[in-house]
């Protein structure tokens, strides 16, 4: 039974919603599997998945997921068990995902970039009964089998996922990239091909969506040990419904989504895959978001929706021949996962004619909590308004019990049906971020204007303290991006004997551009307070990024040096 909210009620900021966005939404009391089953029944012959020319209809995708569920059941997997997906974007992922959920089991998200101890820590923590992967990733697992046990491993050959006429070339390309093409012969290995071709039927599991964990989504782990956020069926269903209500341009049964962002990350899972399947979209899968390939796929498949990350949009605006590609099919262009520099958004809009919508979310909220209106006022530098059924507030950085008012800077907190159940096996850390009242402490420093629009200043842990004065890296990075010679930039704090910390910038120049350290420092000092300007600038060919393209400031800090003495006019500690 659906929750029936009062459409006339809602917080003050809902008055600024576009007229076709509800102030509240009804969240169906259903599982993800049941929700997608409705799409399968409605659009059974529509193409659900496209992978470099190979296609799966909704009927075929659903049939293979049921057969995989039967294969899991034969191996003893059932409700409450965990199945790890160690996969990049490919057709195996959605089929295995819904095959797992069909049994009432939990999907464990494993980044295909993980190996060694990263892989060991995650698998030891989650203890999956089965794992699904590709043959070129299996050697990473084989190397750590003595340190963590996975009873069954389903392995797919990559070439089997491509159209028959390109399969001969797939292995040759893999070998050139030094990737294994051998199929493993270990006794615990099962062939994916056999699993999805062997007839089998498993009834669609139906349980309590509010208490059953659908996905164990591990946090990035860039600052410490990764923790598994327990996302229930209800959490994810709620976020799909909330996000769908926000996308006022969507046309169920007609959309084409280019899924360049990875499904192993919660942003890609919810916004590209789950939302796509629920609305009967055709999802074009890209294994690796390389910009030239992205442009070719847009030209070929004419996507109507393109969720991306700031690094990908930066790559767009740096393409000298962008006008060669037809990008006009895209109606809904969303940026998430990291802060979108204002200058990048402006340049992208100028070059493509598309409106780039910035949103916000986090793993613990399934993930979307805020977005700028698609057909309403978008405020530069803002992550927008809370989605329906989502509450917001800012609390004091030192005293989280003190709620702040409009325009005051503090830690952003959110509450809503999309907020996780807690961290897997970490009750103490769950209590720290959720408390007793259900308000999720995001760890982001932000301010809320009088209308409810939120402006994220920076991550709380990345804040720089210069002689007692707060400097937020994003503010400095925004200025650096305004310089025509800057292609990419990141800012950190480094130790300083007199001031505690000073600002250091890492900059990637645009191809063919020339700019010196002194010129960039002067450029910033002309635009913001001098103490916020970098004291040193280090030029690099690229910046270290995570699997979802967030700049790894921790890596930059680990290798940073203090550099020369800051200018005399810099503020000094009292």
Instruction: Report if residue 327 sits inside a domain.
Output: yes
Average pLDDT score, the chain: 90
Encode pLDDT of 181-207 as tens digits: 999 999 999 999 999 999 999 999 999
The pLDDT of residue 62: 98
Q: pLDDT digit string (tens) for 153-172? A: 999 999 999 999 999 899 99
For residue 15, pLDDT beyond 90:
yes
In terms of domains, do 259 and 319 share one?
yes
Identify whether residues 293 and 350 lie together within a single domain.
Answer: yes
| Same domain flag for 325 and 197 | yes
Phi/psi region, residue 350 (left: phi>0; alpha: psi -120 to 50; beta: rest), is: alpha
Q: What is the mean pLDDT of residues 26-33?
A: 97
* Residues 226, 227, 233, 237, CA torsion sign: negative
Looking at the structure, tell me whether residues 36 and 168 fall in a common domain: yes
Domain boundary among 384, 414, 447: 447
In-domain check, residue 359: yes
What is the pTM (predicted TM-score) of this model?
A: 0.83
- 531 DSSP 8-state letter: G
The single-letter DSSP state of residue 403 is B
Please count the residues of the chain: 574
* pLDDT tens per residue across span 243-302: 999 998 899 999 999 999 999 999 999 999 999 999 999 999 999 888 999 999 999 999
Dihedrals phi, psi of 179, to nearest 5 degrees? -105, 145
Say if residue 162 is in the same domain as residue 251: yes
Mean per-residue pLDDT for 217-231? 73
Query: Burial, 91: exposed, middle or buried (Cβ in 10 Å; 0-12, 13-18, 19+)?
Result: buried
The answer to whether residue 390 is domain-embedded is: yes
* Mean pLDDT along residues 443-465: 88
Angle at CA 27, nearest 5°, toward 22 and 31?
150
Contact criterion met (CB below 8 Å) for 257 and 276: yes
Average pLDDT of 122-135? 97
> Is residue 571 domain-resident?
no
| Domain assignment of residue 275, given as a range | 12-447
Domain count, the chain: 2
The pLDDT-based confidence of 9 (bands split at 50, 70, 90) is: low
Q: Is the pLDDT of residue 565 over 70?
A: no
Pairing state of beta strands 305-308 and 332-335? parallel
d(CA 48, CA 97): 15
Asked if residue 73 and residue 161 are part of one domain, the reply reads yes
Percentage, residues of the chain above pLDDT 90: 67
- The token pair at 284 is 């074009």
One domain, residues 356 and 503: no
What is the model's pLDDT at position 463? 77
What is the per-residue pLDDT for 5? 42
Element (H, E) at 454: strand 454-459
25 with 73, same domain: the answer is yes
**Looking at the domain assignment, is residue 459 inside a domain?**
no
Same domain for 404 and 531, yes or no, is no
Do 255 and 127 fall into the same domain?
yes
Judge if 417 and 521 occupy the same domain: no
> Domain with 470 in it: what CATH number?
3.30.300.30
Rounded average pLDDT over 336-340: 78
Indicate if the pLDDT at residue 151 is higher than 70: yes
Specify which of 163-172, 209-218, 489-498, 558-567 reaches the highest per-range mean pLDDT. 209-218
> 49 lies in a domain?
yes
| 361 neighbors 370 (Cβ within 8 angstroms) | yes
Q: Which long-range contacts (CB under 8 A, 24 or more apart) does 341-347 make?
A: 341/310, 341/314, 341/477, 341/478, 341/481, 342/380, 342/381, 342/478, 342/481, 343/478, 343/481, 343/482, 344/310, 344/313, 344/314, 344/317, 344/481, 345/313, 345/380, 347/317
Does 565 map to a domain? Answer: no
Q: What is the pLDDT of residue 449?
A: 97
| Structure confidence at residue 544 (pLDDT) | 92
DSSP letter string, 308-377: E-HHHHHHHHT-TTGGGS--TT--EEEE-SS---HHHHHHHHHHH---EEEEEE-GGGSSEEEE--TTS-
Cβ-Cβ contacts under 8 Å for 125 (sequence gap 6 or more): 226, 228, 424, 425
pLDDT, position 468: 64
Say if residue 184 is in the same domain as residue 63: yes
Q: How far from each other are the two terminal CA atoms of the chain, in whole angstroms?
A: 62
Calpha distance 422→84 (Å, rounded): 19
Q: Per residue in 48-66, pLDDT tens?
A: 999 999 999 999 999 999 9
Domain end (from 447, 480, 499): 447
Using CA atoms, how far apart are residues 390 and 371, in angstroms rounded to an integer?
Answer: 11
Domain assignment present for 421: yes
């Amino acid at each position: 039974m659906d929750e029936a909210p009062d459409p006339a009620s809602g917080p003050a900021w809902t008055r600024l919603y576009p007229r076709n966005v509800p102030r509240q939404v009804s969240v169906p009391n259903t599982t993800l599997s049941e929700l997608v089953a409705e799409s399968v029944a409605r659009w059974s012959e529509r193409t659900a998945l496209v992978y470099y020319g190979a296609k799966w209809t909704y009927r075929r995708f659903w049939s293979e997921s049921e057969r995989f569920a039967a294969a899991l059941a034969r191996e003893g997997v059932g409700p409450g068990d965990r199945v790890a997906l160690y996969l990049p974007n490919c057709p195996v992922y959605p089929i295995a995902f819904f095959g797992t959920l069909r049994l009432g089991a939990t999907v464990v998200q494993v980044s295909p970039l993980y190996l060694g101890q990263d892989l060991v820590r995650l698998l030891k923590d989650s203890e999956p009964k089965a794992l699904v992967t590709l043959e070129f990733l299996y050697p990473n697992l084989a190397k750590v089998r003595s340190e963590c046990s996975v009873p069954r491993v389903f392995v797919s050959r990559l070439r089997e996922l491509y159209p028959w006429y390109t399969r001969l070339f797939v292995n040759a390309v893999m070998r050139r990239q030094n990737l294994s093409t051998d199929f493993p012969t270990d006794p615990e290995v099962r062939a994916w091909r056999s699993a999805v071709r062997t007839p089998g039927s498993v009834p669609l599991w139906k349980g309590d969506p509010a208490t059953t964990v659908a996905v164990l989504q591990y946090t990035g782990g860039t600052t410490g040990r990764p923790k598994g956020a327990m996302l229930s069926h209800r959490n994810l269903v709620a976020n799909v419904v909330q996000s769908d209500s926000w996308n006022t341009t969507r046309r169920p049964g007609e959309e084409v989504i280019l899924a360049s962002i990875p499904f192993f990350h919660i942003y890609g899972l919810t916004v590209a895959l789950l939302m796509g399947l629920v609305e009967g979209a055709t999802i074009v899968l890209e294994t690796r978001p390389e910009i030239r390939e992205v442009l070719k796929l847009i030209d070929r498949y004419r996507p109507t929706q393109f969720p991306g990350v700031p690094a990908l949009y930066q790559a767009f605006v740096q393409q000298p021949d962008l006008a060669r590609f037809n990008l006009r099919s895209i109606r809904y262009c969303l940026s998430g996962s990291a802060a979108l520099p204002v200058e990048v958004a402006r340049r992208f809009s100028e070059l493509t004619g598309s409106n780039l919508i910035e949103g916000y979310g986090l793993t613990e909220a399934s993930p979307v909590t805020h977005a700028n209106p698609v057909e309403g006022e978008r405020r530069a530098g803002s992550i927008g308004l809370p989605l329906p059924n989502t509450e917001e507030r800012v609390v004091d950085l030192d005293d989280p019990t003190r709620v702040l008012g409009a325009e005051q800077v503090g830690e952003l907190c959110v509450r809503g049906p999309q907020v996780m159940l807690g961290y897997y096996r970490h009750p103490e850390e769950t209590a720290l971020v959720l408390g007793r009242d259900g308000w999720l402490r995001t760890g982001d420093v932000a301010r809320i204007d009088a209308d409810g629009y939120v402006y994220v200043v920076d991550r709380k842990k990345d804040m720089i303290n210069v002689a007692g004065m707060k400097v937020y890296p994003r503010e400095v990075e925004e200025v650096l991006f305004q310089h025509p010679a800057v292609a990419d930039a990141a800012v950190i704090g480094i130790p300083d004997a007199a001031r505690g910390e000073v600002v250091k910038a890492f900059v990637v120049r645009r191809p063919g551009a020339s700019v010196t350290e002194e010129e960039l420092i002067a450029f910033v000092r002309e635009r913001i307070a001098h103490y916020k300007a970098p004291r040193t600038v280090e030029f690099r060919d690229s910046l270290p990024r995570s699997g979802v393209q967030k700049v790894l400031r921790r890596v930059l800090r680990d290798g940073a040096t203090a550099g020369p003495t800051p200018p005399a006019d810099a503020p000094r500690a009292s």
